[in-house]
């Protein structure tokens, strides 16, 4: 089965951990993930500035490692990211900001990527949200 996964909640929320464990289990069971899409507060999972307390799970780091190791398409909604100060080098320069905090493996793109992922997948699974 092909899954598209959308994450709407920040890395410290329980649904972020559930989303990661779901994605790991899906791949372990032989399924495919066509795209991971981080939207609304989910974009914070892609920020390299998230500092996790020592006694908590570093979900931002785990998400990045998972996307990198599995060579997945990890897309961060550009509008939600800009609104929350999550910028890659190009956007930091465009908006004259001092630093970028979005690095590989993440890619900034539009909401159309979520729509496309839903069309390519058998199931769109969403975690978190309003």
> Which of 109, 108, 129, 121 is CA-nearest to residue 35?
121
Asked if residue 129 has pLDDT above 80, the reply is: no
Check 13, 23, 43, 77 and give the catalytic one: 77
Top-level class of domain 2-127: alpha beta
Reported as a pLDDT band with limits 50, 70 and 90, residue 103 is: confident
**Residue 126 annotated in active site:** no
Q: Domain ranges for the chain, please list them.
A: 2-127
For the segment 4-51, what is each residue's pLDDT rounded down to a tens digit?
Answer: 999 999 999 999 999 999 999 999 999 999 999 999 999 999 999 999
For the segment 117-128, what is each residue's pLDDT rounded down to a tens digit?
Answer: 999 999 999 999
């Amino acid at each position: 089965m092909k899954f598209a996964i959308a994450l709407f909640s920040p890395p410290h929320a329980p649904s972020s951990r559930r989303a990661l464990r779901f994605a790991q289990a899906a791949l372990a069971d032989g399924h495919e993930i066509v795209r991971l899409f981080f939207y609304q507060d989910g974009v914070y999972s892609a920020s390299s500035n998230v500092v996790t307390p020592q006694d908590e799970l570093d979900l931002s780091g785990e998400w990045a490692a998972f996307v990198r190791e599995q060579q997945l398409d990890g897309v961060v909604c550009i509008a939600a990211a800009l609104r929350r100060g999550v910028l890659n080098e190009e956007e930091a320069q465009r908006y004259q900001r001092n630093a970028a905090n979005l690095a590989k493996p993440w890619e900034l793109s539009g909401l159309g990527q979520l729509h496309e992922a839903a069309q390519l997948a058998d199931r769109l699974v969403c975690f978190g949200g309003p």
